[in-house]
Amino acid sequence: MLAWANLQPQKVHTIAQVNSGVLETVPAITVGEIQAINREVEAVIDQGDVNGVLEFMAPFIISETITESANGFESVYIEGIEQHREMLTDVFNEVDTEENLNVQEISQKETIRITPDGQLATALISTVNEVTTDDELRLITTTDTIRFARLQGQIKVISYTTDSQITSHDL
């Protein structure tokens, strides 16, 4: 796996919040935190752990998946944790039923940007995968745009957009 991070000098920002007359500071999100979260999410996805993936999501998460293939464009829009639970369950079940599916990652590039105030982060992850079955070879090029925010002290995914292009060839 090949990964790069947009490594700019680490700025430490805090935001003062006043809750019930108590002054709190919220630490800035760091590139390292986002990289660690992305690796943890990859691990729970590899395990097919729906609840594990949901732990990283904000309750109000919004995601959109746009796929281009020989069959045209398909767009799926999902809101909230429960719709994401249903989608992840369906996806993990579908992957489990695929026979003789072989996935090989050809390349991956990760770029992470933090807002100047340190309270929002965006990870852009571009991957190219080769997927083979008994009778088909697919090349899947994907760009994921993942947005993060610190909510109640924890960094959570607040939105997720996936753009994919699939080319297929018979074997």
Q: In one letter, which amino acid is 26?
A: V
Cα–Cα distance measured from residue 32 to residue 49, given in angstroms and rounded to the nearest whole number: 23
Cα–Cα distance measured from residue 36 to residue 84, given in angstroms and rounded to the nearest whole number: 22
Give the burial string for 113-122 (b: 16+ CB within 10 Å, else e).
ebeeebbebb
- How far apart, in Å, are the Cα atoms of 48 and each of 42, 74, 92? 10, 24, 6
3, pLDDT greater than 80? no
pLDDT at site 134: 79
166: phi then psi, degrees, rounded to nearest 5: -120, 125
Question: What domains can you pick out in the chain, each with its CATH number?
Answer: 14-170 (3.10.450.50)
Structure pTM?
A: 0.81
Average pLDDT over residues 90-105: 79
104, pLDDT greater than 50? yes
Average pLDDT over residues 82-108: 85
User: Which of 139, 126, 133 minimizes the C-alpha distance to 168?
Assistant: 139
